[in-house]
A and B are shown apart, each in its own frame.
Chain A
Amino acid sequence: MTDLPPKGRVKLGLVIDLDTCVGCHACAVACKEWNDGGSFGPLEDRDAYGAQPDGVWFNRVHSYQVAVQAVPPLLRTVQAAAAAVTAPAPGGCGGQAADGMTVHFPRSCLHCEKPACVTVCPTGASYKRVEDGIVLVDEDLCIGCQLCAWACPYGAREFSEHHGTMQKCTLCVDRIYNDQLAPEDRQPACVKACPTRARHFGDLGDPDSAVSQLVAERSGYALMPELGYEPVNRYLPPRPRRAAPPEPAPAAAAADGYDPAALPPLLRWLDRALSR
Chain B
Amino acid sequence: MRPALSIVFFTTLSGAGYGLWLLIAIAVAIGAAPADRFTIVVTLLTGLVLTSIGLLASVAHLGKPLRAWRALSQWRSSWLSREGILALVCVPLCLLLAWRVESVHSGLRIRAGFAVFALLAAATVLCTARIYASLRTIRAWRDWRVTPLYGLLALQTGGLWLWLLCELAAPQPLDIQPGICAGRVAWLVALAAGIGLTWGLQRAYWRRPAEAQPDTAAATGLGLPGTVAAMEAPHTEENYLLREMGFALARRHAERLRAIASRTLFVLPLLAIGVSLLLPGWTLPAAIVATVGAMLGVFVQRWLFFAEARHAVQAYYR
B227 within 8 A of A: yes
B61 touches A145 (CB 8 A): yes
CA distance in complex: A69, B223 (Å): 8
A54 touches B237 (CB 8 A): yes
Chain B residues with CB below 8 A from A56, complex form: 240
Instruction: Report B33-77 CB contacts with A as 1/0, cut-off 8 Å.
Output: 000000000000000000000000000011111011011111011
A173 within 8 A of B: no
Instruction: Report A40-71 CB contacts with B as 1/0, cut-off 8 Å.
Output: 00000000000011101100111111111101
B137 touches A151 (CB 8 A): yes
B63 touches A57 (CB 8 A): no
**Interface-forming stretch among B19-27, B175-183, B255-263, B309-317?**
B309-317
B228 within 8 A of A: yes
CA distance in complex: A107, B93 (Å): 48
Partner of B231, one of A28, A60, A64, A161: A64
Most chain A CB atoms below 10 A, which of B223, B241, B313: B223
B63 touches A143 (CB 8 A): yes
Partner of B63, one of A66, A105, A165, A237: A165
A146 touches B244 (CB 8 A): yes
A143 touches B232 (CB 8 A): no
Q: Specify the chain B residue showing the minimal Cβ separation from A139.
A: B64
CA distance in complex: A1, B73 (Å): 8
A34 within 8 A of B: no
For the side of the interface on A, what is the size category? 35 or more
Instruction: Report B213-224 CB contacts with A as 1/0, cut-off 8 Å.
Output: 010101111111
Partner of A116, one of B62, B136, B244, B311: B136
Are A107 and B244 CB-contacts (below 8 A) given A64-B220, A150-B137?
no
Are A144 and B135 CB-contacts (below 8 A) given A63-B231, A64-B231?
no
Chain B residues with CB below 8 A from A159, complex form: 63, 240, 244
Instruction: Report A63-99 CB contacts with B as 1/0, cut-off 8 Å.
Output: 1111111010110100000000000000000000000
Q: How far is the CB of B131 from chain A (nearest CB, A)?
A: 7
A119 touches B137 (CB 8 A): no
Are A150 and B135 CB-contacts (below 8 A) given A67-B228, A73-B224, A144-B63?
yes
B71 touches A145 (CB 8 A): yes
Chain B residues with CB below 8 A from A61, complex form: 234
Are A221 and B221 CB-contacts (below 8 A) given A123-B67, A227-B312?
yes
Partner of B221, one of A57, A63, A76, A142: A76
